């Protein structure tokens, strides 16, 4: 029986060799060619007519998306499996709409590549765990890795509150001109939630955490009692980010598991008439401030998934000056688009 012929396309030679080495351990697969840019990939695909093409997206000369578009015309029998660092929803959806049956994130190649190739070669669609649920929702037929997908992971640990009913999405963002207005806004949010008998998760920097504690005490909130009961859960933003960030991007499966556990824990402490969970923080704002705008936007999308699925009121707080609004208006607009309401204070 003829072996499956594979073309490997990636401009980073060490990663290309890693993929070829992985394929060499799988019986019945044979690497018939390699390419380091989009133009070369199109030429070799037309000449070799491989069964499978492993294609990066960020290629020189011609992007992986455009190369795939041309390859589909020149080598229509070749199946394309995208293997990329890119997790932007728009890019992933465009890749899948091309008719490519598979997409996995490079960070998960070691564990997901064999299963992804098997699914694609069998005519099935495979979307890896590094791609968030908001992308998966448009491609229900996708084959998940040999473990829980992000949707299944979240469903398995979601708060009991979410299983009783679905509520209107509440994922708000507030942009503050300085620390004082940030703290005032978060203080009002926390105080209102606790007064209603709800539980609150707060993920902020150490200085903001200490200042919030002082402000809440001054306003007569018995915050230490709330901490003891588990209805006020203060977390450090850096420590929290470290639990789900992988290669400078939020890992959807890790994030949804961690966030789901937090929501479930907080829900058990909520004692109101119609108990809810509230969450406020600055994880995504910190990522943007550090220059990781794409990671911030991806994280906001993941929080939005929780807002849509659980009985959670979410407030994201950004301290931005007018200069940042003007210089990075495109990022500002993308951040706003992930929320149900936007307010500047």
Residue 247 above 60 pLDDT? Answer: yes
User: What CATH number belongs to 4-147?
Assistant: 3.40.50.2300
Q: What is the pLDDT of residue 323?
A: 52
Residue 202 in 3-state DSSP?
A: strand
More confident residue, 114 or 233: 233
Least reliable range by pLDDT among 31-35, 217-221, 299-303, 320-324: 320-324
- Beta bridge mates, 279: 201, 314
* Terminal-residue alpha carbon distance, the chain: 68
How high is the pLDDT of residue 107?
73
Residue 218: band (very low, low, confident or very high) from pLDDT cuts 50, 70, 90: very high
pLDDT given for residue 245 in this prediction: 95
pLDDT higher than threshold 80 for residue 83: yes
Residue 92: what pLDDT?
Answer: 80
Residues 6 or more apart whose CB falls under 8 angstroms from that of 310 comprise: 158, 159, 161, 162, 260, 263, 277
pLDDT digits (tens, 9 = 90+) for 256-299: 889 988 998 899 898 867 778 999 999 999 999 999 999 999 99
Which tokens belong to 204? Answer: 């902020």
Query: How much is the pLDDT for 168?
Result: 57
For position 131, what pLDDT does the model report? 64
Portions of the chain given CATH number 3.40.50.2300:
4-147
Least confident of 131-135, 233-237, 278-282, 310-314: 131-135
Answer whether 0.75 is exceeded by the pTM: no
d(CA 205, CA 103): 35
Q: How far apart are CA 139 and CA 274, in angstroms?
A: 35
pLDDT at 158: 34
CA distance 251 to 28: 32
What are the tens digits of pLDDT across the range 136-170?
444 434 443 433 333 333 333 233 333 333 345 68
pLDDT at 4 over 60: yes
Range of lowest pLDDT (24-33, 47-56, 155-164, 233-242)? 155-164
Give CA separation, 40 vs 8, 17, 43, 53, 164, in Å.
Answer: 11, 17, 5, 13, 54
Rounded to an integer, the average pLDDT of 312-338 is: 80
Q: 3-class SS at 265? A: helix
| Mean pLDDT, rounded, of the chain | 83
Tokens matching residue 277: 């969970």
CA gap 62, 56 in Å, rounded: 11
Q: Within the chain, what is the greatest distance between any pair of CA atoms?
A: 78
Whether the pLDDT of residue 344 is over 50: the answer is: yes
User: Helix or strand or coil: residue 304?
Assistant: helix
Sign of the dihedral through C-alpha 176, 181, 182, 185: negative
Indicate the length of the chain as a whole number.
Answer: 345
**Who wins on pLDDT, 269 or 130?**
269
State yes or no: pLDDT of 21 exceeds 90.
Answer: no
* Matching residue, tokens 């993941």: 302
When the candidates are 3.30.450.20, 3.10.180.10, 3.30.70.260, 3.40.50.300, the CATH number that belongs to 155-344 is 3.40.50.300
From-to residues of CATH 3.40.50.300 in the chain: 155-344
Higher pLDDT, residue 149 or 322: 322
H-assigned helices in the chain? 13-24, 38-48, 64-74, 89-97, 109-121, 133-136, 150-157, 160-164, 179-195, 206-218, 223-229, 237-244, 252-269, 283-289, 293-309, 322-327, 329-337
Asked if the model's pLDDT at residue 322 lies above 90, the reply is no
pLDDT band with cut points at 50, 70 and 90 for residue 219 = very high
């Amino acid at each position: 029986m003829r072996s499956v012929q594979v073309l490997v396309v990636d401009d980073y030679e060490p990663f290309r060799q890693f993929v070829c080495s992985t394929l060499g351990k799988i019986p019945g697969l044979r690497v018939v060619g390699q390419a380091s840019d989009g133009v070369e990939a199109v030429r070799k695909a037309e000449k070799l007519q491989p069964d499978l093409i492993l294609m990066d997206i960020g290629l020189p000369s011609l992007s992986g998306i455009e190369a795939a578009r041309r390859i589909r015309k020149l080598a229509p029998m070749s199946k394309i499996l995208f293997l990329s660092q890119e997790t932007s929803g728009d890019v992933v959806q465009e890749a899948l709409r091309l008719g490519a049956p598979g997409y996995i994130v490079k960070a998960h190649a070691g564990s997901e590549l064999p299963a992804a190739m098997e699914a694609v070669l069998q005519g099935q669609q495979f979307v890896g765990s590094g791609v968030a649920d908001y992308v998966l929702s448009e491609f229900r037929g996708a084959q998940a890795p040999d473990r829980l997908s992000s949707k299944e992971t979240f469903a398995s640990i979601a708060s009991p509150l979410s299983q009783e009913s679905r509520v209107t999405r509440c994922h708000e963002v507030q942009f503050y001109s300085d620390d004082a207005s940030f703290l005032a806004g978060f203080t009002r949010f926390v105080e209102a939630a606790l007064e209603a008998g709800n539980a609150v998760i707060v993920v902020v920097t150490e200085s903001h955490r200490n200042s919030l504690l002082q402000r809440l005490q001054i306003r007569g909130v018995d915050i230490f009692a709330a901490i003891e009961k588990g209805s006020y859960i203060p977390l450090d933003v850096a420590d929290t980010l470290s639990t789900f960030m992988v290669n400078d991007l939020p890992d959807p499966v890790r994030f949804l598991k961690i966030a789901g556990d937090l929501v479930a824990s907080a829900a058990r402490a909520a004692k109101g008439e119609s108990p809810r969970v509230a969450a406020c923080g600055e994880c995504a704002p910190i990522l943007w401030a550090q220059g990781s705008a794409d990671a911030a936007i991806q994280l906001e999308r993941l929080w939005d998934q929780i807002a849509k699925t659980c009985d959670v009121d979410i407030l994201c707080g950004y301290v931005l000056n007018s200069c940042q609004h003007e210089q990075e208006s495109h990022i500002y607009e993308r951040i706003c688009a992930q929320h149900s309401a936007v307010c500047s204070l």
